[in-house]
């Protein structure tokens, strides 16, 4: 694949996708005070997400600067790695520069090469698939299940070929994939599992934290993630050889025996000590940040429950979700407006939202490789899904206000 080649879809190819691709993001208009009963920290625009930097972030960054250790070789990097590995119940944490870098480090540490295949869900952010493509390997796509919007584990077996090397489940929006059947299948076929846990810090599968459920996992610390370093990522694993290789590849594959000596093509995917200082401060607060996400999800569930045509996310019996994003589905027939119409109404009332992911198989760069395959659940999620403001700092009054706007916009309920 020529990675720098731009791919445009033809008008006919676009027509096939038109039925479910989201429209442009609506402009969010500030609301006026008095438009609702919101007390406390009232704000004219409720953002879809924002970081919460309320702890020792500034103090630790100050310490990093005063120590003069501002690149990756500083104490905060090691402390952050140890704290995050503890949080995931793994032996190793390898901090890196982004979630995408974490995914690529995992793929590269597996030794993926041209012709290899990795099975992953089409309903994900494009970085999951790109990490495999960077290695010259092929992402093989499966649909998701309609109840929890996660990779449909039952579809994986049919996609295994002699070239399959790994399965890459993605815990979408903070909800864990049903891992036990996947682990059983992967073990039976000798496949590695690498989790894309970019969105799911602290989520649990049958009581076990994500990040330690397969050979390795990758996390993102982008500013909208529950734990953030601004930009950043982490690979977690229990495997010492995998950890060593990922750490080596992260740092240009410098040889421990001789300086400027390289036996692998490595990368510069290092996380700076300044970013790690922020990350360590975030780890001190992360249980509280997760608790706020779960409390907000419960409040959304209560306030949206009786609105016809609005489907709220279901938590599977195996799952403790962290609700990275609180997504809903809009059944246009039952609700009376389409997803995009509802997004416009919310934007007119100062509420920022996002449409769900456009699946990998619909992306211009991947479309032609998958045009003959059907992924109806992912396409329906792409057509009907949006996420509401989801930050850990969201106020209960704001949730009530948002639910009120959704209720008021429903033609059947009147205003």
Ligand X SMILES: Cc1ncc(COP(=O)(O)O)c(C=O)c1O
The residue ranges that bind ligand X (CB under 6 A) are 98-100, 103, 124-125, 127-128, 170, 196, 198-199, 220, 222, 233
Give the residue carrying structure tokens 């050979």: 215
Give me the least distance between CB of 325 and ligand X, in Å please. Answer: 9
Look up 29 and say whether it is catalytic. no
> What is d(CA 59, CA 107) in angstroms, rounded to the nearest whole number?
36
CA-based nearest residue to 232, from 355, 81, 361, 350: 81
How many C-beta neighbours within 10 Å does residue 251 have? 16
Beta bridge partners of 234: 95, 219
Give the residue carrying structure tokens 């990756």: 72
Give me the least distance between CB of 48 and ligand X, in Å please. Answer: 13
> What is d(CA 375, CA 88) in angstroms, rounded to the nearest whole number?
32
Catalytic residue among 5, 29, 206, 225: 225
Q: What is the dihedral of CA 271, 272, 274, 280, to 10 degrees?
A: 40
Give me the least distance between CB of 232 and ligand X, in Å please. Answer: 7
Beta bridge partners of 119: 140, 167
Residue closer to ligand X by CB (options 17, 170) is 170
Give me the least distance between CB of 66 and ligand X, in Å please. Answer: 28
Give me the least distance between CB of 152 and ligand X, in Å please. Answer: 16
Do residues 344 and 26 make contact, with C-beta atoms less than 8 angstroms apart? yes
Beta bridge partners of 254: 262
Give me the least distance between CB of 339 and ligand X, in Å please. Answer: 20
How many C-beta neighbours within 10 Å does residue 7 have? 11
Residue closer to ligand X by CB (options 223, 413) is 223
Long-range contacts of 36-43 (CB under 8 A, 24+ apart): 36/397, 36/401, 36/404, 37/397, 37/401, 38/395, 38/397, 38/398, 38/401, 39/397, 40/395, 40/397, 41/395
Residue closer to ligand X by CB (options 69, 80) is 80
Question: What is the separation of C-alpha 409 from the centre of its chain, rounded to a whole number of angstroms?
Answer: 29
> Residue 196, SS3?
strand
Contacts of 64 (CB under 8 A, 6+ apart): 70, 74, 76, 273, 274, 276, 277
C-beta nearest to ligand X: residue: 99
Residue closer to ligand X by CB (options 127, 203) is 127
Residue closer to ligand X by CB (options 128, 320) is 128
Residue closer to ligand X by CB (options 87, 401) is 87
> What is d(CA 366, CA 333) in angstroms, rounded to the nearest whole number?
31
Residue closer to ligand X by CB (options 177, 346) is 177
Give me the least distance between CB of 173 and ligand X, in Å please. Answer: 9
Radius of gyration of the chain (CA): 22
Question: What is the separation of C-alpha 289 from the centre of its chain, rounded to a whole number of angstroms?
Answer: 16
Residue closer to ligand X by CB (options 99, 279) is 99
Give me the least distance between CB of 157 and ligand X, in Å please. Answer: 23
Exposed / middle / buried, residue 21 (Cβ in 10 Å: 0-12, 13-18, 19+): middle
Catalytic residues: 225
């Amino acid at each position: 694949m020529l990675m720098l080649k731009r791919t445009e879809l033809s008008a006919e190819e676009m027509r096939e996708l038109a039925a479910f691709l989201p429209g442009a993001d609506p402009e969010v208009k500030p609301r006026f005070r008095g438009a609702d009963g919101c007390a406390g920290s009232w704000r004219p625009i409720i953002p879809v997400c924002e970081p919460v930097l309320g702890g020792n972030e500034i103090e630790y960054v100050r310490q990093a600067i005063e120590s003069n250790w501002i690149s990756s070789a500083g104490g905060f990097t090691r402390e952050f790695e140890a704290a995050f590995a503890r949080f995931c119940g793994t032996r190793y944490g390898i901090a890196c520069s982004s979630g995408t870098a974490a995914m690529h480090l995992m793929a590269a540490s597996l030794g993926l090469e041209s012709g290899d295949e990795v099975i992953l869900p089409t309903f994900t952010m494009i970085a999951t698939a790109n990490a495999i493509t960077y290695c010259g390997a092929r992402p093989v796509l499966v649909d998701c299940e309609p109840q929890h919007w996660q990779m449909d584990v039952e579809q994986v077996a049919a996609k295994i070929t002699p070239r399959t090397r790994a399965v890459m489940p993605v815990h979408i929006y903070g909800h864990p994939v049903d891992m036990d059947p996947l682990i059983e299948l992967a073990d039976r076929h000798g496949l590695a599992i690498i989790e894309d846990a970019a969105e799911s810090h602290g989520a649990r599968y049958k009581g076990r934290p994500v990040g330690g459920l397969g050979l390795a996992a990758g996390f993102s610390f982008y500013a909208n993630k529950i734990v953030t370093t601004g930009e950043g990522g982490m690979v977690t694993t229990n495997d010492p050889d995998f950890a060593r290789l990922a750490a080596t590849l992260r740092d240009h594959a410098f040889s421990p025996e001789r300086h400027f000596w390289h036996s692998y093509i490595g990368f510069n995917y290092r996380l700076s000590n300044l970013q790690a200082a922020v990350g360590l401060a975030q780890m001190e607060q992360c249980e509280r940040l997760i608790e706020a996400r779960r409390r907000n999800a419960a409040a959304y569930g209560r306030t949206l429950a009786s609105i016809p045509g609005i489907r709220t996310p279901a938590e599977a019996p195996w799952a403790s979700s962290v609700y990275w994003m609180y997504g809903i589905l809009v059944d246009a027939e039952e609700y009376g407006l389409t997803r995009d119409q509802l997004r416009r109404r919310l934007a007119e009332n100062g509420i920022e939202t996002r449409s769900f992911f456009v699946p990998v198989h619909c992306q211009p760069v991947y479309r032609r490789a998958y045009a003959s395959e059907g992924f109806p659940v992912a396409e329906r999620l792409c057509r009907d899904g949006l996420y509401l403001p989801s930050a850990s700092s969201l106020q209960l009054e704001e949730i009530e206000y948002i639910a009120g706007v959704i209720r008021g916009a429903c033609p059947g309920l009147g205003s």
